[in-house]
Structure 1
C-alpha cells in the first residue's frame, strides 16, 4: 500500500514551517510523503524583504536553500509553478520551468496528492490603479526586492550628475502606509547614509526626499492609534513627508497623481498598498473572496473540498465575529502549527481542531534607529507598549523565532553567532 502524499504549495513562512513539522512527524517515520512545491529555489522571510530591497540584508547569508533544507528535514522539494488543479483525479498541473533566457529547464508535468495545502502567500493589490504596474516597484518577492535595490543604486548614481538630475532632491514615492511602506521609508535614509559612507554614491541623506502616502486617516491602520502616531512622529523626524487620507489615482514615470489632483514628482516609485492572494486561486473552481483568498472553515479546510487546506495570506479564515484572521506572519506560523496536528489527525482518523488566532502584538522596525509596537495583546488588554532599544530587541527576536521553527535551536544559535561575527567582518549592507 502506497504512502499518502501531502503537497504544500508555497515555501513562505507558513509553508516552510509546515513542511518542516510534517517532515519530522510523518516523513521521518515513513508515515507519509511530504512534498513542498515552490517556483523559487530558496526562501527569504518576507518581513525582511524591505531590508533586502535597500541592501541592508544580504540574501546569500539569510536565504534557505529548499533542497538542502528538505534533505535535513525529511520532506521532498519540487521546483515548479502550479498551473491547475484536477480535484477529481487529485493531481496538480505544473507549468514548465524556464531559465533567464527562456530555455526550458523542466517540462510541464503532473504531481499527485492525497491532501493539498495552499500556502501561496499574497501579492500587492494595485486596485486597478492606472500606471502602477508600469511605473512602480513591488516588493513581494526576493526578485522584486533585488530589482528595486539595483534601480535605487542607479537612481542615486544618476543624481550625482547634474546633467542627469531631474529634480532638486532625489525623491522616492511610497504608496501604502502599512508595515512594508513604513519600514522601507526608514530603511531608505539608512541606506543612503551607508552608500555615501562606502563611497558608492556622493548622494547624502539630506539630498533625499521620501513621500509616504496612505489612503486611511492614519499610518498602520491595522494597529493602535498610539503606535501609529509614534511611528509618524519618528518618520517625520527623519525627514519623511507623510500624506495620510491621500489616495493615489495614477502613477506615471516620474510622478504620482493623488485623488485630489495633486502631483508629486518622483524619481522612484514603490507600491505597497494593500494585498491580495494570487489571481490564479480564483480560477480553480474553489470559493474565494474579493481578494482571491480561499474560503476555509476553522479547521483550515476549503469549504468546497475537505482534501484541500489553506493557510497564511491566501486563506480567508473566519474568526467568529464576522471578521477574518489578519494576513500577518504570526498568523501563518500559528496556522502551520495547528495544520501539522490536523493533518496527522486526518491520517489517523481523528477529529480536526479549529483554529483560534492569538494576537501576540505588533512591532514595526524603523531601520537601526528605532522600533515601535506592542506585545502580549489579548481580548482584554491592549498589550505592553514598546519603543527604542527594547522594541528593537523584541523585533529581532521575531526572526529568530522563525529560524527556530524551520532550523531548530542548535542551528539557530549558530546562525545568531555568524550574524554577530559578520557585523565585524563584512560591510553593513550589500553594495552590488
Structure 2
C-alpha cells in the first residue's frame, strides 16, 4: 500500500478483518499460529505477524546461547516457514508509529548488512492491533551502563557476548603460553542482577568454561583463571521467590565457585570495571546487565496510549488499552493488573497464557460472543543451574503456602518448558521428532560451541 493512501470505511467493510500482531516472541508467534489455524483457516480474519527479525528464538534460552550450550542454528524458527505452514502472513519490519485514526501502522525500512535499504518504510492497515513487542533492558540511568554493559535481549546480543567471551579466553590462553612463568591474567565476568536470568546465566557460564579449557584453552585452569561474579542490589538473590529457594540457589552457586554479592548498588560502569555505591572498584573484562526490564521506547510513539513508569502499555482485564479497544498488548510490554496480584511479572508463562486467552477471545468476538476477563494461573517458577540441577517453586494462594522441589523433578520441569513452547507452535509429532534429533546430536558433539 502506498505510504499515504487513505483507507475508507467502505474498504474495510468489503474485506475480512485484519488482525496485526507486532512482535514474534514466545507470545506473539504462538498467537499468530493459533489464530491462523482457527479463525484464519475459516476465512474469518486475515492474520499478519510483524517482526524486525526474520527468525524466532525462545528468549528464556538466551543464556544458553550466550554460554555456548545451545546452538541457535538448531533452535531458530523461520517466521516465513511458520506462516506458510499455518496460513498467516509474515511482514518484516520494525514498528515506527501507529495512526489510530486511520488504523495504520508504519514499519521502518529493512536494511542489509551494509546498511543499504532492502525494503522501504511501509504502511500496514489493521482492524485489530496486538502489541507483543517484549521488553528491553532497564539500565536505571546508571552512568556508563548502557555504553559498557551488555544486555541480553535477543539472539544477536547473546552471540555477541559469546564471541567476546571466547576472545577473552583466547587472549588469556595466549599470554599464558607466551609467558608460562608469569601469573595468568584472570578473566572477570560480572553479571548484574540475580533474578532468574542472572542466576541461570552465571551458572551456564561457569559450566561452559571447563569444556573450553579442555578442548581449546589448555593453558587456563577454569576455576582459577575465570572469575564469575553475580551482583544483586537486593538483600538476597532471587528476591521474587521464597527465601528457601534463594538459600538453595546461593549454596549451589557457591559450590560452583561463583562469587555472589548481595545488597550491592552499582554507581557506574566503565569499559574495564564497575563501581559500587560504597566506592569499591571491581575489574571487568565483560559486564552483563540482567537487573531489570522496561517497555521499548517506540511505545511512546503510539499517540495517547497510557504507559506506566516502566514504559509498559496499561491494559484492562481483556488485554485491551483503555484508550482504544482496537489495540491490545500482552507479554512483557503490557502492564496487566489482576486483582490481588498487582502487575503480572515479565515471565514466559504469563505471555503464553495471555496468547491462549487472546486466541479464544478473538474467536469469540468474530462470532459475536461475549468475552470474559483474562485470568492468570501461576504454574510456578523453575530456575536452572544447568548440569548442576534446578529448583522449582509454586505458590498456592500465598507465599506461606509454597511447594518447593529440586532434583530430577525440577530438572524435568525445566526441560519441559521449552518442549511445551514447541508443542504450541509445531504440534506433538514435529516436536517429538525435533527432540529426538536434538538428543542424537547431543551425543555427537562437545557440550558447548567451541568457536
TM > 0.5 fold call: yes
SS at match of 2:28: helix
Match of 1:170 in 2: 187
Distance in 1 between the 2:217 and 2:321 partners?
51
Distance in 2 between the 1:322 and 1:50 partners?
28
**Which of 19, 27, 30 is matched with 1:17 structurally?**
30
User: 1:328: Cα distance to partner?
Assistant: 0.6
Match of 1:103 in 2: 116
**Which of 353, 372, 384 is matched with 1:334 structurally?**
353
Match of 1:297 in 2: 316
Any stretches of 5+ residues in structure 2 without a counterpart?
Answer: 1-13
Distance in 2 between the 1:156 and 1:166 partners?
15
Distance in 1 between the 2:341 and 2:405 partners?
30
Distance in 1 between the 2:184 and 2:276 partners?
19
Any stretches of 5+ residues in structure 1 without a counterpart?
Answer: none
Match of 2:447 in 1: 428
Residue by residue, what CA displacement relative to the aligned partner does 1:183-239 show, whole Å, maximum 9, x if unpaired? 111111111111112225643322111111111111111111111111011001111
1:179 aligned onto 2:193: no
User: 1:133: Cα distance to partner?
Assistant: 1.6
Residue by residue, what CA displacement relative to the aligned partner does 1:18-68 show, whole Å, maximum 9, x if unpaired? 011101111112211100000111111100000000111100101111111
1:378 aligned onto 2:378: no
Q: Larger radius of gyration, structure 1 or 2?
A: 2
Match of 1:265 in 2: 283
Match of 1:131 in 2: 144
1:227 aligned onto 2:240: no
1:94 aligned onto 2:94: no
SS at match of 1:188: helix
1:315 aligned onto 2:334: yes
User: 1:386: Cα distance to partner?
Assistant: 1.5
User: 1:322: Cα distance to partner?
Assistant: 6.7
Moved more, 17-26 or 162-171: 162-171
Distance in 2 between the 1:160 and 1:167 partners?
8
User: 1:148: Cα distance to partner?
Assistant: 0.3
* TM-score with structure 1 setting the length: 0.97
RMSD after superposition: 1.6
Match of 1:281 in 2: 299
Match of 1:365 in 2: 384
Contact preservation (8 Å) 1:123, 1:278: yes
Number of residue pairs aligned between Structure 1 and Structure 2: 431
SS at match of 2:320: coil
User: 1:168: Cα distance to partner?
Assistant: 4.3
**Which of 246, 268, 274 is matched with 1:250 structurally?**
268
1:140 aligned onto 2:153: yes
Runs of 4+ in 1 over 4 A off after TM superposition: 163-168
Equivalences for residues 390-429 of structure 1 within 5 A: 390-429=409-448
* TM-score with structure 2 setting the length: 0.93
SS at match of 2:38: helix
User: 1:349: Cα distance to partner?
Assistant: 2.4
Contact preservation (8 Å) 2:216, 2:450: no
Equivalences for residues 188-207 of structure 1 within 5 A: 188-200=205-217, 202-206=219-223, 207=225
Distance in 2 between the 1:201 and 1:17 partners?
44
Residue by residue, what CA displacement relative to the aligned partner does 1:350-381 show, whole Å, maximum 9, x if unpaired? 22221111111110011211111224x32157
